[in-house]
């Protein structure tokens, strides 16, 4: 796809940000590379909670049930108790079981490897058709478990990409996934996703950004920089 002039400018800036963040943070490490179904469940558990509680809930889930079929068929209240530490168990439990049931009905087994045969858009569309799975969760499964070129956008990435000028200012979260995929180099998506989150947590914070120490300060379009 041929990019427009403004898109090319943002693509160049995204590449420069990628290089600068690698210098600042190094090559980031994903928490653990999991099979796609495991990653889907883990990411559902991660919604609106921290990494520590996500990991505790996922570990408890795997220790309690011997297979995803057992999770699918478990007593809903029991499952919710098992994953309670992740929060919102009354939502996450049914969403996990609904997703596992949908996968079973689609393929006759609980596996998502068949999505590798689809285009990114087809695979994404199928994943977001699952209850409780939005564009970010789908993109995480695609890029980190299926090695497909998707760019997950969370609140940090949406905020930071807007401030730096990596996307059109009024672009919504859902379309930002697709925009960054359009202008970015797919081989950088994993590192960029993790390093932009680190930037958002460490420097480009929502209320009081630490702009004076930011490793991409010279590349940033933010008009309300905090430099003291």
**Active-site residues: which are they?**
136
Q: Spell out where 130-199 has E strands.
A: none
- Please choose, from the candidates 87, 79, 35, the residue with its C-alpha nearest in 3D space to the C-alpha of residue 61: 79
DSSP structure class, residue 143? I
Find where tokens 């559902």 sit: 44
202 phi and psi angles, rounded to 5 deg = -90, -35
DSSP structure class, residue 222? -
Please tell me the distance from the alpha carbon of residue 202 to that of residue 185, in angstroms, as a whole number. 24
Q: Could you count the other beta carbons within 10 Å of the beta carbon of residue 8?
A: 12
Tokens of 133: 């799975």
Would you call 153 helix, strand, or coil by DSSP? Answer: coil
19 phi and psi angles, rounded to 5 deg = -65, -45
């Amino acid at each position: 796809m041929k990019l427009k002039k403004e898109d090319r400018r943002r693509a160049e800036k995204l590449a420069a940000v990628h290089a600068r963040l690698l210098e600042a943070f190094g090559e980031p490490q994903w928490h653990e590379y999991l099979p796609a179904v495991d990653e889907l469940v883990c990411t559902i558990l991660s919604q609106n909670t921290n990494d520590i509680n996500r990991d505790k809930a996922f570990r408890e889930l795997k220790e309690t049930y011997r297979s995803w079929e057992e999770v699918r068929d478990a007593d809903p209240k029991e499952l919710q108790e098992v994953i309670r530490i992740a929060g919102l168990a009354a939502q996450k439990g049914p969403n996990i079981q609904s997703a596992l049931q949908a996968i079973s009905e689609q393929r006759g087994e609980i596996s998502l490897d068949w999505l590798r045969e689809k285009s990114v858009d087809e695979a994404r569309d199928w994943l977001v058709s699952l209850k409780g799975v939005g564009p970010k969760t789908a993109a995480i499964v695609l890029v980190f478990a299926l090695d497909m070129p998707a760019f997950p956008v969370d609140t940090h990435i949406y905020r930071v990409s807007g401030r730096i000028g990596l996307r059109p200012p009024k672009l919504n979260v859902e379309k930002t996934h697709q925009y960054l995929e359009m202008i970015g180099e797919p081989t950088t998506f994993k590192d960029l996703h993790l390093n932009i989150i680190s930037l958002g947590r460490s420097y480009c914070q929502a209320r009081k950004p630490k702009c004076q120490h930011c490793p991409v300060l010279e590349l940033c379009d933010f008009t309300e920089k905090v430099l003291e």
